[in-house]
Structure 1
């Protein structure tokens, strides 16, 4: 993979990585607030393994909200770790974010495809409802792929900075080019 030199054609990968980490923290905090402020009946939850009764019991106990909140707290922790890694120039501290980022991109792709295919094959009562399902499925697919592209670009910015820092660590402090000291 070719390394990126700039983030969004104007900032360095270091600055872009810091902005991405702060953005990750802000969005995670906003998601936690939204998850706990939205009424419970507006959140849909299916396990696909157990029956609908079990799903309703889990939803009544706020289990999906708790799981999502724990995941978002770990995201905040990893983003803080990324900020520290950029400031201290330590590649091994960036590695959790890099690994989590690519795993989340793959999971997001699977989720977008599953959701859009589910709407495409869902049975409709009439022709108008079928049209609405197809429009919704197409919108989810197009917007989801667009979101994945942006996410993978941001991951590539962080990964490029990770590779730069790792190479710098391998060269050693005194073997760097004079203009990089």
Structure 2
């Protein structure tokens, strides 16, 4: 993969990494608030592993909300580590975000495809919604992968800097 030199053609990968981490924290906090403020009847959790009545029991006990909240708290923690890593120039602190980012991208792709296919299979009344979810989800995935590539490029730059020494000049190209 070729390293990115700029984020959005105007900012450095360092600034882009800081913005990405900040966005991760903000979106996680907004999602936590939404999960707990939204009425239970408008939010549906399905496991597709257990029976439907078991899913209802889980939802009544708020286990899906608690599980999602814990996951989002870890996302906030890892984004905080990314901010510290970029500011202190420590590549090993960036590694959890890089790994989590690619795992979340795969999960996002699966989620978008599953949700849109489920709505397509429900019938014609949900075809427009399924198309919007598919197109919007894929656009969101592309933006997410671009921001992941920005952070990964910054990670590689910091890792290379640590390997050759901070104050040594870059080796000459032959």
- Report the number of matched residues: 170
Looking at structure 1, the residues matched to 39 and 86 of structure 2 have their Cα atoms a distance apart, in angstroms, of 39
1:4 corresponds in structure 2 to: 4
1:127 corresponds in structure 2 to: none
Looking at structure 1, the residues matched to 39 and 13 of structure 2 have their Cα atoms a distance apart, in angstroms, of 40
> In the TM superposition, what are the counterparts of 1:57-136 in structure 2 within 5 Å?
57-122=57-122, 124=123, 130=124, 132-136=125-129
Looking at structure 2, the residues matched to 86 and 145 of structure 1 have their Cα atoms a distance apart, in angstroms, of 28
1:20 corresponds in structure 2 to: 20
* Stretches (4+) displaced over 2 A: 173-177
Measured on the aligned residues, the alpha-carbon RMSD in Å equals 1.0
TM-score w.r.t. the length of structure 2 is 0.95
Unaligned runs of 5+ in 1: 125-129
Cα deviation digits, residues 23-72 of structure 1 (max 9, x gap): 11111111111111111111101111111110111000000100010000
* 1:117/1:137 contact within 8 Å kept: yes
TM-score w.r.t. the length of structure 1 is 0.91
Looking at structure 1, the residues matched to 5 and 126 of structure 2 have their Cα atoms a distance apart, in angstroms, of 42
SS of residue matched to 2:41 = helix
* 1:85/1:93 contact within 8 Å kept: yes
1:148 CA displacement: 0.3
* Bigger Rg over Cα: 1
1:50 equivalent in alignment to 2:15:
no
Cα deviation digits, residues 85-113 of structure 1 (max 9, x gap): 00110001000000000000011001111
